[in-house]
Structure 1
Amino acid sequence: MLVTAVATALLAQTALAWPHRPTGPQPWGYFTNNTIWQPPGNLTVSYPRYVELADGSILATTALSGVTPGYFPVFESKDGGASWAYVSNLTDQVNGWGMNAQPALEVLSTPLGGYPAGTILGSGNSWSENGTRIDLYASTDVARTWHFVSHIANGTAPNTTNGAHPIWEPRLLEYDGQLIAYYSDQRDPAHGQKLSHQVSTDLHNWGPVVNDVALSPYEARPGMTNIQYVPPINKWILVHETPIGNSSSYGSNYPVHYVMADTPLEFGLNPDIPLVVNNATAPNASPYIAWSPIGGEYGTILVSDADRTQVFTNQCGGDPNEWQLHATPAGAVYSRAIEIFKHRPDHLAIYGGNTYDQSAAGIQEPFSITVVNLNHVLASPAGVIPA
């Protein structure tokens, strides 16, 4: 009994003396597959999107499959993705169709159209058998409530067949006192699909349709615009997928291409470049792009695709011959979003959800986030997951 009492006392003293080791994701730390939200029932999540605010807070949303009418749930993190809180649903307020797919978020850094700096802008594809519509919504209370602002563009009912005339996949960008709305556009009879944009200086009225990528042959379907600015070269980059009929390129049926331009309004003036690693490996479908100042003189351009856990990187200002492939511990996701934290350039965030095939099969994955050390990613070969 005496031995047991002594041992118990020693264990108690040891527990008091030993420092507490926190478990779970730590604020502004690195972690893998931290759940933002577990969707209820049979709902599946894909096409994650985010916006980082001036104070480092993150708002994130995702498209849902399995719910009618559709909506985009919005979540907030104030600690680098370690913890999340639900804040609202971005819903269709004017069409009666739902917000069905392809969410987009942006934040105003300066006042525009009567809205103050800090206003959150949201969009997505609202559709029914009557049409597809890309609308603009705004929130002046950090995404707690939303109100309709304007219709950006309209198309016919959702149909990916060449010859139909829907629109898809908005991307919002504040630039030089304007809001640019990019989207995929099937309405031009000269192209099965092209990439377009329209500009507004007041958030209510929208300028003419401008081509960003319009390719030959007719069957080419560039889609899923994503944009990034690269400060060291003072260039903008647009990445997109480019299926052409049933053909493939370097094993990809939806190979990723990119365009570089002096401003995000001038992509249509510049050549379209295939993204290929070592003349052998191309990303496939739904690209997303980010940039970090880490990685030398030009920093690092990062591109994610729909099929790989890895990221494609370029540390030579987008030189077509200098793409590499590096492993990450995050899973593949349909239209997977990646983020470099503005004030922590070594933090690479990768947003998780379902692949296209998983959603079609009803397989459910949580809406999640992985944050890894970019230095470790860049030091790891393609097949080696960084520690």
Structure 2
Amino acid sequence: MRLSLPTIFSFAVASAALPQPHGPPDPDSPKPFSTFSNRVIWTPPKGGRAMYPRHAELRDGTLLVTANVFGLTGGPGNLPIFPIFESKDGGVTFQWISNLTDQVNGWGMVAQPALYELRKPLGGFKSGTILASGNSWSNNGTRIDLYASTDKARTWQFVSHVAAGGRPNTTNGATPVWEPFLLAYEDELIVYYSDQRDPKHGQKLAHQRSRDLKTWGPVVNDVAYDEYLARPGMTVVAYIPPLKKWILVYELPVGNSSSHGVNYPVHYRLADDPRKFDSAEHIPIVINTKNGTVAPNASPYVVWSPVGGPKGTIVVSDADRSAVYVNTAGADPDKWEIKEVGQPEAYSRALHVFEKRPEHLMVLGGDTFDGNGVGALVNSVLDVRKVLDGDWKPEPDPKPPACKAA
């Protein structure tokens, strides 16, 4: 969470109706489950901006995508909502199938969505249930809430409040909560988030766990620094099978200082257990190139692909470059490389490696933090092998898809 959010906090927007269905898919569209570059999933109403996209791949290969869209309201009270889009062809075409709305606070679902499919029964919900979270906020406070869908994301029900904090304010000393990330592990749901409520820290990363999805355990620190001005933020976690370890990536601004030429340098931690990052070593991603030192900046995301050698490939994205950062040496701090993928920089881009096509990497983006980017929800699906070899080339798609409404 960047330290200044004037655009985000001014979220009073005009209502935007769901788009009407369009005609059949364009025959010139990329083939299903193929690779492509910078394909528009959906363009918000005039003046709207899609940011902070998130996704989940379901067991049957269906892909769900959402984002917070400043400029889009609906549901009870005409409040901010998260639109939910579905793809059955590997991200080539999408249909708008539902909206995640605030059912309990009267504040709207404003920012920082998260999606996750349960692969085992948990908390009274069957395998295949889709969980969603996000930040519902107003001047009265911030709340990370949990919702569930038992019908493939067509309808949603409120499950529980996970964490609550003060009003949305990034000033040190304020007490909001931000940026949930969901992970099921050992018959519990872990909800990671950024937490400003601890008076010892301007901000820290923490998590809470639940077995019934309604009652939540104590706040457990994941990343907390002795220096009060340090503000680790934006937890994303992935598993690296060859290492039998979990990786957590986060941004680390410290006051007004910079590190390695950026103000929100990306760090990572490795742990045997995704509940025990707090004691792990913190490692910055720094890359020495022929043109000097490069470091990723802000809103990182991380995934792992088995492609790229015996240890596979760790892929990290940031907010400020069209490239990604890769490591085929088991997270060795000296072995990071920067690789171009051609999708424009965006605030909190998301990455995904497809389960049945692990050589395919999706890069999911939207607008920049400052509103200087695309504005639309955009994805690319790339071949990891070509990215690693450095011979990635853009695959232009001159005709955007027709995203159908529910």
**TM-score, structure 1 length as denominator?**
0.91
Does structure 2 retain, via aligned residues, the 8 Å contact 1:43–1:364? no
1:190-269 map, 5 Å:
190-269=200-279
Pairing partner for 1:286 from 289, 299, 323: 299
Q: Which amino acid in the other structure matches residue 205 of structure 1? A: T
Q: Which amino acid in the other structure matches residue 31 of structure 2? A: Q
**What is the aligned length?**
362
Aligned position for 1:42: 47
Does structure 2 retain, via aligned residues, the 8 Å contact 1:25–1:34? no
Pairing partner for 1:110 from 109, 115, 120: 120
Separation in 2, partners of 1:52, 1:339: 9
Quote the RMSD (CA, aligned, Å).
Answer: 1.5
1:87-236 map, 5 Å:
87-236=97-246
1:26-41 map, 5 Å:
26-41=31-46
Separation in 2, partners of 1:380, 1:32: 16
Q: Percent identity?
A: 57
Does structure 2 retain, via aligned residues, the 8 Å contact 1:327–1:385? no
Q: 1:379 to 1:364 in 2, by over 3 A?
A: closer
Partner SS state of residue 190, structure 2: strand
Separation in 2, partners of 1:368, 1:205: 36
Partner SS state of residue 247, structure 2: strand
Aligned position for 2:60: 55
Q: Which amino acid in the other structure matches residue 55 of structure 2? A: Y
Q: Which amino acid in the other structure matches residue 253 of structure 2? A: P
Aligned position for 2:319: 306
Q: Which amino acid in the other structure matches residue 201 of structure 1? A: R
Separation in 2, partners of 1:315, 1:364: 31
Tell me the alpha carbon deviations over residues 186-215 of structure 1, each in whole angstroms, 9 at most, x when there is no partner.
Answer: 000000000000000110110000000001
Tell me the alpha carbon deviations over residues 305-341 of structure 1, each in whole angstroms, 9 at most, x when there is no partner.
Answer: 0011100001111111110000002111100001111
Aligned position for 1:24: 29
Structure whose CA Rg is larger:
1
Partner SS state of residue 356, structure 1: coil
Separation in 1, partners of 2:234, 2:368: 16
Does structure 1 retain, via aligned residues, the 8 Å contact 2:44–2:71? no
Q: Which amino acid in the other structure matches residue 140 of structure 1? A: T
Aligned position for 2:354: 341
Pairing 1:76–2:70 present: no
Partner SS state of residue 268, structure 1: coil
Higher RCO (Cα < 8 Å, 6 or more apart): 2
Partner SS state of residue 321, structure 1: coil
Separation in 2, partners of 1:312, 1:215: 25
Instruction: After TM superposition, give the deviation of residue 366 of structure 1 in Å.
Output: 1.6
Does structure 2 retain, via aligned residues, the 8 Å contact 1:380–1:386? no
Separation in 1, partners of 2:374, 2:341: 21
Instruction: After TM superposition, give the deviation of residue 283 of structure 1 in Å.
Output: 0.3
Q: Which amino acid in the other structure matches residue 336 of structure 2? A: W
Q: 1:208 to 1:78 in 2, by over 3 A?
A: same
Instruction: After TM superposition, give the deviation of residue 22 of structure 1 in Å.
Output: 5.3
1:353-364 map, 5 Å:
353-358=366-371
Pairing 1:326–2:331 present: no
Report the more deviating stretch, 272-281 or 68-77: 272-281
Partner SS state of residue 376, structure 1: helix
Q: Which amino acid in the other structure matches residue 86 of structure 1? A: W
Separation in 2, partners of 1:310, 1:67: 29
Instruction: After TM superposition, give the deviation of residue 364 of structure 1 in Å.
Output: 5.3
Report the more deviating stretch, 59-68 or 255-264: 59-68
Instruction: After TM superposition, give the deviation of residue 176 of structure 1 in Å.
Output: 1.3
Gaps of 5+ in 1: 1-20
Does structure 2 retain, via aligned residues, the 8 Å contact 1:327–1:386? no
Does structure 1 retain, via aligned residues, the 8 Å contact 2:44–2:72? no
Separation in 1, partners of 2:348, 2:318: 7
Separation in 1, partners of 2:242, 2:286: 22
Does structure 1 retain, via aligned residues, the 8 Å contact 2:368–2:374? no
Separation in 1, partners of 2:276, 2:394: 38
1:361-372 map, 5 Å:
365-372=375-382
Separation in 2, partners of 1:63, 1:377: 29
Separation in 2, partners of 1:109, 1:135: 21
Does structure 1 retain, via aligned residues, the 8 Å contact 2:205–2:233? yes
| Higher fraction of helix | 1
Runs of 4+ in 1 over 3 A off after TM superposition: 384-387
Pairing 1:273–2:283 present: yes
Report the more deviating stretch, 152-161 or 349-358: 349-358
Instruction: After TM superposition, give the deviation of residue 82 of structure 1 in Å.
Output: 0.9
Pairing partner for 2:365 from 342, 352, 358: 352
Q: Which amino acid in the other structure matches residue 293 of structure 1? A: P
Report the more deviating stretch, 343-352 or 22-31: 22-31
**TM-score, structure 2 length as denominator?**
0.87
